[in-house]
């Protein structure tokens, strides 16, 4: 059901509408449509459920900013977020919503200098976004006071519980006043959340937006892990299961375009290829054929696709990973326009994982991993489409010649057997499951297992580091299950730990920016590293900073690693 709601008739003020216009938000998403009036016009608590990418941040951020005033020097809104990355995203988004209002937003997460955070808090903030562990540190230190809190927001609640933050969250909740309102947002509602809601959140409104009605304007973004040699099979499988596939397959080079296009043509797909070596007039002919849907697959390089103005693609396939985040955004922007839902699919080979993580980070998008359609599913779809194809043929289309043959056949044979035999002859290749490799099985050698990185951590036994503390420390900075944190070794001066590639990249990034010229606390372990890694003096200074020059070193260490 298409809704006519606009941001202005949800009751948002002029100041907010201006911000939204600047941000390019044209109309509210379904979850926003429902939660904004409740938050604005009632005093109820709220539980909101909608899948990732449906604008949950604005669903609470916009009305909450309207509700609070900028008087008084106390924290009015506390937003709990599962990871540093998400906390930063939310706080960036909150900052844009604030616009010209005099509201100050602070972001507090583990791994960052607590000293700077303390200074920030002392200056006074209205809205705090943070990860549970670090927030609790501040609450315990007395640097974060919640006595006058208006809103407690648990964002991405399912993720927070997955990461084992239940107790932290409960403790934080216990430090907030009765009078505050609690808003909980989550993509899913596992039992654990329901229990928490029952226990801690009285009188709430529950808003759940079903997957189907969401993301009207948003492109759903997914990725598949494939090996280079599997890419083509993966592509044809996707096209096969999507009956009305109408999309662009992006390749990096002219050679890739030609190769993929030729393979598609030889398998009977209706495709064409587009790249810079094709003359202008040739390109225009291809654009026209594609726009008129004479062909439903266009294989193209980024540059060649630029001249193409189509609005209603069902799919964009990143056959080769885009060069940079801008290219990614540009490519996927071609689907899901004009209120239609489109799907952007990216193929990732293990070697491309690093680049992919960067794209996700910089483009600030969440791209969900999915499994390729199974052979069984594919065969089911093939059968359906054969039935459809055969049942619409009219007498005239077949022609007398065939009709006569058919009647003589049927004179002496069982019609079912005759038809079965014909289908077998005509479609044997297509329906023979041996012609499809089960890509899923092979894919299990995936980047998660193969793609790990050994990290050097500049804290050791001398710093009271232990393996459990190191695991905890890693988890304060990136989203990981314990089982993905491997081969922890703690030595006197330093430690080692192995984590999946993408999280390693995240950690390296986090600690790179913090050292400011000094040796980062976390680095890639060197292959040749023996036990005698020379002590780096500059790192000691960093460590001091990391410990916030606390008077009592040991107490500070305890704080840092205890939980
Ligand atoms: P979620 O928390 O549900 O995963 P986010 O709040 O992170 O989703 O929003 C996903 C993206 O959609 C963000 O880039 C956000 O700026 C954008 N967005 C949110 N609401 C709208 C809207 N009404 N129109 C256009 N873009 C929106
Ligand atoms: Mg969110």
Strands (E), 2-104: 45-49, 77-80
Residue whose CA lies nearest to ligand 1 atom number 2: 56
Start-to-end C-alpha separation, the chain:
48
248 touches 371 (CB < 8 A): no
List 30's β-bridge partners, or say none.
none
State residue 385's pLDDT score. Answer: 75
Centroid of ligand 2 to alpha carbon of 201 (angstroms): 20
Domain limits, CATH 3.40.50.300, in the chain: 7-208, 213-449
Look up tokens 């988890």; give the residue.
Answer: 475
Residue 267 scores a pLDDT above 70: yes
pLDDT band for position 221 (50/70/90)?
confident
Residue 562 scores a pLDDT above 50: no
State residue 25's pLDDT score. Answer: 83
Residue 434 scores a pLDDT above 50: yes
State residue 395's pLDDT score. Answer: 74
CA distance 151 to 169: 14
Residue 63 scores a pLDDT above 90: yes
Neighbours of ion ligand 2 (CB under 5 A): 56
Residue 443 scores a pLDDT above 50: no
pLDDT band for position 24 (50/70/90)?
confident
Q: What is the pLDDT of residues 334-361, one digit of tens each?
A: 665 445 568 889 999 887 888 888 888 7
State residue 335's pLDDT score. Answer: 65
Find the ligand nearest to 156 CA. 2
CA distance 77 to 152: 6
Chain mean pLDDT for the chain? 82
Side-chain-side CA neighbours of residue 186 (13 Å) = 21
Question: Which of the given ranges, 163-177, 395-409, 471-485, has the highest pLDDT on average?
Answer: 163-177
Residue 471 scores a pLDDT above 60: yes
State residue 278's pLDDT score. Answer: 85
Centroid of ligand 1 to alpha carbon of 354 (angstroms): 25
368 touches 223 (CB < 8 A): yes
The residues, any chain, with a CB within 8 Å of residue 307's CB and separated by 6 or more, are 283, 287
Tokens at 247, concatenated? 């999309």
Find the ligand nearest to 220 CA. 1
Ligand 1, pocket residues at CB < 6 Å: 25, 28-29, 32, 50, 52-58
Do strands 495-500 and 452-457 pair parallel, antiparallel, or not at all (unpaired)?
Answer: antiparallel
Across 191-205, 383-397, 516-530, least confident range: 516-530
Q: What is the pLDDT of residues 367-377, one digit of tens each?
A: 888 888 777 87
Look up tokens 């989550």; give the residue.
Answer: 186
Higher pLDDT, 480 or 247: 247
pLDDT band for position 549 (50/70/90)?
very low
Higher pLDDT, 129 or 83: 129
17 touches 184 (CB < 8 A): no
CATH 3.30.70.330 fits 452-562, yes or no: yes
Higher pLDDT, 177 or 532: 177
Secondary structure (3-state) at 181:
strand
Residue 312 scores a pLDDT above 60: yes
As a whole number, mean pLDDT of residues 231-254 equals: 89
Decide: residue 251, CB within 10 A, 0-12 exposed, 13-18 middle, 19+ buried: buried
Residue whose CA lies nearest to ligand 1 atom number 23: 28
Instruction: Name the residue among 298, 293, 291 with its Cα closest to residue 275.
Output: 298
Find the ligand nearest to 22 CA. 1
CA distance 17 to 28: 11
Higher pLDDT, 361 or 180: 180
CA dihedral 477, 480, 483, 486 (to 10 degrees): -50
Centroid of ligand 2 to alpha carbon of 357 (angstroms): 18
State residue 336's pLDDT score. Answer: 54
Main-chain dihedrals φ then ψ at residue 523, nearest 5 degrees: -140, 165
Arch. (CATH architecture) of 213-449: 3-Layer(aba) Sandwich (3.40)
248 touches 298 (CB < 8 A): yes
State residue 147's pLDDT score. Answer: 95
Find the ligand nearest to 57 CA. 1
CA distance 239 to 245: 6
Secondary structure (3-state) at 497:
strand
Centroid of ligand 2 to alpha carbon of 411 (angstroms): 67
List 208's β-bridge partners, or say none.
49
State residue 488's pLDDT score. Answer: 86
pLDDT band for position 131 (50/70/90)?
very high
CATH topology of domain 7-208: Rossmann fold (3.40.50)
List 346's β-bridge partners, or say none.
223, 318
Atom of ligand 1 nearest to the CA of 185: 2
User: How many Cβ atoms from other residues are within 10 Å of residue 487's Cβ?
Assistant: 10
Higher pLDDT, 479 or 263: 263
Domain limits, CATH 3.30.70.330, in the chain: 452-562
As a whole number, mean pLDDT of residues 318-338 equals: 76
Instruction: Name the residue among 210, 156, 151, 158 with its Cα closest to residue 183.
Output: 151
Across 102-111, 432-441, 489-498, least confident range: 432-441
Centroid of ligand 2 to alpha carbon of 131 (angstroms): 14
Q: What percent of the chain has pLDDT over 90?
A: 37
Across 74-88, 176-190, 396-410, least confident range: 396-410
Q: What is the CA radius of gyration of the chain?
A: 28
Centroid of ligand 1 to alpha carbon of 57 (angstroms): 7
- For CA atoms 38, 43, 48, 54, give the dihedral sign: positive
As a whole number, mean pLDDT of residues 64-70 equals: 92
DSSP string, 420-444: HHHHHHHHHHHH-GGGS--HHHHTT
């Amino acid at each position: 059901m298409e809704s006519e709601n606009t941001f202005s008739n949800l009751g948002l003020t002029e100041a907010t509408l201006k911000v939204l216009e600047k941000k390019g938000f044209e109309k509210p998403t379904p979850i926003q449509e429902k939660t904004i009036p409740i938050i604005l016009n009632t005093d109820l608590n709220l539980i909101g459920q909608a899948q990732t990418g449906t604008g949950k941040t604005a669903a609470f951020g916009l009305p909450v900013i309207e509700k609070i005033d900028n008087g008084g020097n106390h924290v009015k809104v506390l937003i709990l977020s599962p990871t540093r990355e998400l906390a930063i995203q939310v706080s960036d988004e909150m900052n844009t919503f604030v616009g010209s209002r005099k509201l100050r937003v602070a972001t507090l997460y583990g791994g960052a200098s607590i000293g700077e955070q303390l200074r920030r808090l002392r200056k006074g903030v209205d809205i705090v976004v943070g990860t549970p562990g670090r927030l609790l540190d501040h609450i315990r230190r007395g640097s974060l006071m919640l006595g006058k809190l208006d809103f407690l927001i648990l964002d991405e609640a399912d993720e927070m519980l997955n990461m084992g933050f239940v107790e932290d969250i409960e403790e934080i909740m216990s430090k907030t006043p009765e009078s505050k309102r609690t808003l909980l947002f989550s993509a899913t509602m596992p039992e654990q959340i329901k229990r928490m809601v029952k226990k801690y959140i009285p009188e709430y409104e529950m808003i759940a937006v079903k997957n189907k009605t969401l993301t009207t304007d948003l492109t759903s973004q997914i990725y598949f892990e494939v090996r280079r040699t599997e890419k083509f099979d993966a592509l044809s499988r996707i096209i096969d299961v999507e009956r009305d596939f109408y999309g662009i397959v992006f390749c990096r080079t002219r050679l890739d375009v030609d190769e993929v296009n030729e393979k598609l043509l030889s398998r009977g797909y209706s495709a064409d290829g587009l790249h810079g070596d094709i003359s202008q007039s040739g390109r225009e002919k291809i654009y026209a054929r594609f726009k008129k849907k004479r062909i439903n697959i266009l294989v193209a390089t980024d540059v060649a696709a630029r001249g193409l103005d189509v609005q209603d693609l069902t799919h964009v396939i990143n056959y080769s990973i885009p060069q940079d985040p801008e290219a990614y955004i540009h490519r996927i922007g071609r689907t899901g326009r004009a209120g239609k839902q489109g799907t952007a699919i990216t193929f990732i080979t293990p070697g491309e994982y690093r680049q992919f993580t960067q794209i996700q980070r910089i483009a600030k998008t969440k791209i969900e991993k999915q499994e390729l359609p199974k052979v069984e599913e594919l065969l089911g779809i093939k059968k359906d489409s054969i039935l459809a194809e055969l049942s619409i043929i009219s007498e005239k289309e077949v022609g007398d010649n065939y009709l006569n043959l058919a009647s003589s056949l049927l004179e002496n044979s069982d019609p079912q057997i005759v038809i079965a035999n014909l289908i077998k002859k005509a479609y044997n290749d297509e329906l023979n499951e041996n012609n499809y490799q089960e890509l899923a099985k092979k894919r299990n050698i995936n980047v998660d297992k193969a793609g790990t990185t050994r990290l050097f951590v500049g804290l050791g036994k001398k710093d009271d580091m232990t393996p459990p503390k190191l695991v905890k420390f890693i988890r304060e900075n990136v989203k990981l299950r314990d089982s993905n944190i491997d081969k922890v070794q703690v030595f006197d001066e330093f430690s080692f730990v192995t984590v999946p590639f993408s999280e390693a990249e995240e950690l390296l990034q986090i600690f790179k920016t913090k050292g400011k010229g000094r040796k980062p606390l976390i680095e890639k372990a060197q292959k040749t590293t023996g036990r005698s890694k020379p002590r780096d003096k500059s790192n000691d200074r960093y460590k001091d900073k990391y410990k916030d020059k606390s008077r009592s070193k040991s107490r500070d260490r305890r704080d840092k690693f205890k939980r």
